[in-house]
């Protein structure tokens, strides 16, 4: 997970106050270390990127809510497409 977040930091995030930037990280588990994701998440937030966790399964807990601005859960991978669309509509289409 930390590696995926570091890769996201390499993106050329467009700047502008009216453009909402969101990163949706889909996962079916936990990071090897929550400490390893702290710095990349902080840097994304500094860039005004909203980190969103999309968790597959019912195990997402308060740890995700502590680190990610928003957390969505789906029961199985079959629900991912609908969850991505819902997440996009609820977040990326908003103008800030």
Specify if 14 maps to a domain: no
Q: Is there a domain that residue 41 lies in?
A: yes
CATH of residue 50's domain is: 3.40.50.410
Specify the 3-state DSSP secondary structure of 27: strand
Question: Is 73 among the domain residues?
Answer: yes
Count how many domains the chain has: 1
Buried b vs exposed e over 48-68: b needs ≥16 C-beta within 10 Å?
ebbbbbbbbeeebeeebeebb
Is residue 16 a part of any domain in this protein?
Answer: no
Range of the domain at 52: 2-9+21-92
Q: Is residue 15 part of a domain?
A: no
Cα 78 from Cα 10, distance rounded (Å) = 30
Whether residue 64 lies inside any domain: the answer is yes
Written as tens digits, the pLDDT of the chain (96 aa) is: 899 999 999 988 876 666 778 888 888 878 888 899 999 999 999 888 889 998 887 666 778 888 888 888 888 888 888 888 888 888 766 554
């Amino acid at each position: 997970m930390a590696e995926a977040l570091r890769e996201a930091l390499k993106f050329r995030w467009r700047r502008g106050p009216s453009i909402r930037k969101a990163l949706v990280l889909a996962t079916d588990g936990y990071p090897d270390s929550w400490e390893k994701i702290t710095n990349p998440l902080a840097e994304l937030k500094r860039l005004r990127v909203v980190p969103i966790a999309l968790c597959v399964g019912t195990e997402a807990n308060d740890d995700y809510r502590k680190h990610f601005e928003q957390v969505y859960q789906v029961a199985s991978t079959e629900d991912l497409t609908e969850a991505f669309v819902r997440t996009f509509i609820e977040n990326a289409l908003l103008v800030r």
